[in-house]
Amino acid sequence: MKERQQKIIELLDEYGFVSVEYLSKALFCSGATIRRELAALAENQKIKRTHGGAMHFNGISNDSPFHLRNNRNINEKHYIANLAIQNVHDAMTIFIDSSSTAACLTKYLGNFHDLNIITNGLQIVYELAEQQNVQVFATGGQIKNNVTMHGAPALHMISKRYADVFFFSCTGFSTDHGTSETNEESVELKKAMYQNAAKKILLCDHTKMGLVYSYKCFSSNEIDMIITDRKPQEEIMKNMPSNLALVY
């Protein structure tokens, strides 16, 4: 493997995603050269090409089985959850989507009282069902991948409820394109929760930063706060909307 290709792998180990623009500046070479190196690495299944850059070949999407997503970057997810609970108070009503990142929140709700949790995640329902301090409401609907509820019944239930805060994750986030997903059902559920929540908080570990997928969900300026596990790359930082709070 070339020295330049090895450096690209090292940067992916650090950031999870790197853009062509960032690599060009970091490695002091043209964008065309970077694209050739990425093509060679992708051909050898060392990386996966994405919109404007590359990520690890073993990236896991929201369509993957929950146990795979749940075990991916588990320390980062718990770090994010610890920061996220600073936005939780007694007697709140909370929307939580079915993401494995948001599911980590359930481990940290034991010290609060009179919480109402509304979720389309079966794993979250199971985790909270026996906690005396929480009332948990499942959205209902068609079950997908054994863990997610979606469809018209879920959307109808969400439309009848209001939440103080909406915790959600994404498959990819970029400052230009906002959050994106790999399927339309996920977008529909998130948008329904978004419309009826006072505060919207994105839980997004560093490996999702800079990634863009097929289905657009929210633009950057529609999100109140992003909680992540490390400082994003400089090119992401400089393009963050001024009204968007970033916590890490």
Domains belonging to the chain, first-starting first, are 3-56 (1.10.10.10), 66-247 (3.40.50.1360)
More confidently predicted of 217 and 61 = 217
Least confident piece of the model among 16-20, 105-109, 128-132: 16-20
Examine the pLDDT at 21 and tell me if it is beyond 90.
no
Residue 66 is predicted with a pLDDT of: 47
Strand partners, 246: 226
Residue 13 is predicted with a pLDDT of: 72
Task: Look at residues 163, 169, 118, 164 and name the one whose alpha carbon lies nearest to residue 141.
Answer: 118
Examine the pLDDT at 64 and tell me if it is beyond 50.
no
Burial-class residue 78 by CB neighbours within 10 Å (0-12, 13-18, 19+): middle
Examine the pLDDT at 59 and tell me if it is beyond 80.
no
Least confident piece of the model among 57-61, 151-155, 165-169, 222-226: 57-61
Examine the pLDDT at 67 and tell me if it is beyond 90.
no
**How far is it, in rounded angstroms, from Cα 198 to Cα 216?**
21
| Residue 37 pLDDT grade (very low, low, confident, very high; cuts 50, 70, 90) | very high
Residue range 126-135: mean pLDDT, rounded:
90
Residue 14 is predicted with a pLDDT of: 66
Average of per-residue pLDDT values in the chain: 88
Sheet with 47-50: strands ordered across: 17-19, 53-56, 47-50
**How far is it, in rounded angstroms, from Cα 2 to Cα 13?**
17
Examine the pLDDT at 99 and tell me if it is beyond 60.
yes
Examine the pLDDT at 20 and tell me if it is beyond 90.
no
Residue range 210-236: mean pLDDT, rounded:
92
- Tokens at 137, concatenated: 């409401």
Residue range 150-155: mean pLDDT, rounded:
96
Residue 230 is predicted with a pLDDT of: 93
Residue range 95-123: mean pLDDT, rounded:
93
- Is the pTM for the entire model greater than 0.85? no
Residue 15 is predicted with a pLDDT of: 67
| Residue 146 pLDDT grade (very low, low, confident, very high; cuts 50, 70, 90) | confident
